[in-house]
Amino acid sequence: MTAKELKTLVTFLMFHLCLSLNDSIHGTPNIIIFLTESLSMKDLGFYYDNSQETPNIDSLIEEGVVFSRFYAQSSRIASLSSLLTGLLPPRTGIIKSKFLNFKEIPSLASSGGLQHAEITLAEDLKAKGYTTSFVGLWGLGIGRNAEYLPLNHGFDSWYGVASANKEPCMESYKTTSDSLYTWQSVCAFFSPLLYILPFVSFVGWYKGLGNIVTVIIVIIAFIIYSSILHDVIHFTMDFIQVKSCVLYRNSNIIEQPYTVENLTLRFTRNAVQFLESSSISSKPFLLFFSFMNLNQPEFASRLFSNSSQSTYSDALKELDWSVGRILRVLKKQDLENNTLVLFLSATGHHVHKASESCSVVENGEREASCLQGGSVNGIWEQTIRVPAVMRWKGKLKEKQIIKTPVTIMDVVPTVLELLNESTEAVYLDGKSLLPVLLNSSAEFKHKYIFHYLDVTKPAAITSGSYKVLYTGVKDSRNLQFHEPPLLFNVEVDPEETSPLPNVEHRELLANFSDALAEHMKTRKNKWHSQLDSRIIPFLFPCANFPRCFQASDENNDFSELFN
């Protein structure tokens, strides 16, 4: 064989190798996305010493590609909106507004939500012939006639909960509210006497009414106040709170208020049923499973509670069981080689209460508690850098670790490229991950990644190993502006304890501000947040007006899930 022939052969082989790689990666795989929250890499056995027992997620990690710098957004719903649309949250308005401090859509009666102009992953996939299902916690609004719920965003079926506000329906909440009948609440109840008494006495004296008449007026005023104002207001508030626990199956409310305890079991049962029915059909499917049990306050069903040192660990155990249960169906139906599985967290783990004291002091040092998680609303690496795993047996290399910074917005463009869809025509903030998935050392760069705390402007920007922080959080309520900004090398200092001296990095900082200015030009509506949309009482979802009560007709026997 001559050198020329050899060269031709090698070129031929290489061409076909590349081609077959390209060919084989394109297609219409089934897609399962597991989304949770309040989970950091630390909580998963793989990344550090095994502190929690998560065998199923660990094996997913073993068999898949792991991202060590995967950036989510600053809140759960912001991350969910980015995951579904491939856009930065301020473009969809699913992020804290400038003035109000809400991190979730504040009421079920809010007129805000994920707008229809936004094209979701489910809509893209449905157009390609997929069957799509959303199970679990939503949170992107309800709106008029349930216009913002999953069924109107490209999902064929949905089973789950519209908003994260479940506290009033939890056992623990009920016991704390009982204990509120303490001397404080008794004082609060009688407090109006403090102003009714002097006022009526004054009027009585001025008008020359007798003492008895005055006392009667005081009593009547108090009764009117306490029954109408105090009780009615409190009753209404309690009623709204408890009735906010709404469980949907497609367009029906099937339980109001729901019982929190077994929700993860019920979500899992529903997801398993969806997988079993989809595996019979020849259509590819998308299953989006959004876990709710790590949403604070965490909860676990009786089968998992008290099995470890905290409710958090119990909930994580149940989550892991659920992931394993669903992957088992995949294996049984022989769908593993044909299914792309993603496991992601929408937010990092946050330390209970400790976040109150989380602030950067003058020299940039932070208290130890912050290093493990920081504030709920922070933009620290530990809160936005989340665990992310992608598994596609036979297609993606196992045990691969990708160190390039990527974002939660990259999922949509990645899937679009898998489907041979061009992403050039649509505007997206994300970029396809295929180049790095196929070659972990490939050039793939988000030159700059913008991180938002609220709708106005980026609070931080990441580029390569550097991160510049313009806005931090002082405590759980207040932001802290850094002028000049703090600069970190998050590759060597992921805990962000030692800011780099600005004087030595003038050019880098100048590049960051240029990038910020360029980025702001792409922002059209700089103020609009869906979280401060009007609240319209008649939008409140109600199973049957005016009781707004619906008992569940589902069975409580979950034994088939454990077979």
Ligand X SMILES: *[C@@H]1O[C@H](CO)[C@@H](O)[C@H](O)[C@H]1NC(C)=O
- CA-closest candidate to residue 467, choices 508, 438, 408: 508
Q: Which stretch binds ligand X (CB under 6 A): 163-171, 173-181, 272-280, 441-449?
A: 441-449
**Structural contact between residues 311 and 293, judged by C-beta atoms closer than 8 angstroms:** no
**Structural contact between residues 150 and 114, judged by C-beta atoms closer than 8 angstroms:** no
Residue closer to ligand X (CB basis): 45 or 435: 435
Q: Which stretch binds ligand X (CB under 6 A): 46-54, 352-360, 468-476, 550-558?
A: 550-558
Residue closer to ligand X (CB basis): 369 or 463: 463
**Structural contact between residues 407 and 449, judged by C-beta atoms closer than 8 angstroms:** yes
**Contact call for residue 129 and ligand X (CB under 6 A):** no
**Structural contact between residues 544 and 246, judged by C-beta atoms closer than 8 angstroms:** no
**Contact call for residue 556 and ligand X (CB under 6 A):** yes
Q: Which stretch binds ligand X (CB under 6 A): 144-152, 289-297, 299-307, 518-526?
A: 299-307
Residue closer to ligand X (CB basis): 259 or 273: 259
Helix (H) or strand (E) holding 161: strand 157-161
- How many Cβ atoms from other residues are within 10 Å of residue 562's Cβ? 9
Tokens of 318: 């149940």
Among 241, 259, 273, 369, binds ligand X (CB under 6 A): 259
Among 192, 502, 558, 561, binds ligand X (CB under 6 A): 558
CA terminus-to-terminus distance, the chain? 61
Amino acid at 175: T
**Contact call for residue 447 and ligand X (CB under 6 A):** no
d(CA 402, CA 66): 6
* 297 cis-preceded (ω within 30 degrees of 0): yes
Among 184, 281, 282, 306, binds ligand X (CB under 6 A): 306
Among 226, 241, 296, 305, binds ligand X (CB under 6 A): 305
Tokens of 510: 């100048």
**Contact call for residue 334 and ligand X (CB under 6 A):** yes
Q: How many CA atoms lie within 13 A of 457 on its CB side?
A: 12
d(CA 26, CA 478): 47
- Quick note: the x/- pattern for ligand X over 209-248, rule CB under 6 A, is ----------------------------------------
Smallest gap from Cβ 274 to ligand X, in A, equals 21
Helix (H) or strand (E) holding 271: helix 263-280
Residue closer to ligand X (CB basis): 262 or 414: 262
Site for ligand X in 455-494 (CB under 6 A): none
Smallest gap from Cβ 504 to ligand X, in A, equals 10
d(CA 489, CA 212): 77
Tokens of 145: 């006639």
- Quick note: the x/- pattern for ligand X over 17-56, rule CB under 6 A, is -xx--xx--xxx----------------------------
Smallest gap from Cβ 179 to ligand X, in A, equals 15
Residue closer to ligand X (CB basis): 264 or 530: 264
Residue closer to ligand X (CB basis): 443 or 553: 443
**Contact call for residue 310 and ligand X (CB under 6 A):** no
Q: Calculate the dihedral angle through the C-alpha atoms of 467, 469, 473, 474, rounding to the nearest 10 degrees.
A: 120
Site for ligand X in 502-521 (CB under 6 A): 507-508, 511
**Contact call for residue 439 and ligand X (CB under 6 A):** yes
Smallest gap from Cβ 456 to ligand X, in A, equals 25
SS3 (DSSP) at 334: coil
Residues in the interface with ligand X (CB under 6 A) total 30
The arrangement of strands across the sheet holding 285-290 comes to 252-255, 247-249, 157-161, 131-137, 285-290, 30-36, 339-345, 388-391, 65-67, 400-402
Site for ligand X in 384-423 (CB under 6 A): 393-394, 419-420
- In terms of Cβ atoms closer than 10 Å to its own Cβ (0-12, 13-18, 19+), residue 559 is exposed
Helix (H) or strand (E) holding 30: strand 30-36
By beta-carbon distance, which residue lies closest to ligand X? 394
Among 100, 229, 442, 536, binds ligand X (CB under 6 A): 442
Query: Locate tokens 């580029």: which residue?
Result: 463
Smallest gap from Cβ 26 to ligand X, in A, equals 4
Residue closer to ligand X (CB basis): 105 or 415: 415
DSSP 462: E
**Contact call for residue 318 and ligand X (CB under 6 A):** no
SS3 (DSSP) at 247: strand
- CA-closest candidate to residue 158, choices 82, 252, 243, 92: 252
**Contact call for residue 337 and ligand X (CB under 6 A):** yes
**Contact call for residue 443 and ligand X (CB under 6 A):** yes
Smallest gap from Cβ 10 to ligand X, in A, equals 14
Q: For 208, left (φ over 0), alpha (ψ -120 to 50), or beta?
A: left
Residue closer to ligand X (CB basis): 334 or 553: 334
Among 302, 353, 521, 524, binds ligand X (CB under 6 A): 302
- Given the rule CB under 6 A, which residues bind ligand X? 18-19, 22-23, 26-28, 259, 261-262, 301-302, 305-306, 334, 337, 393-394, 419-420, 439, 441-443, 507-508, 511, 556-558
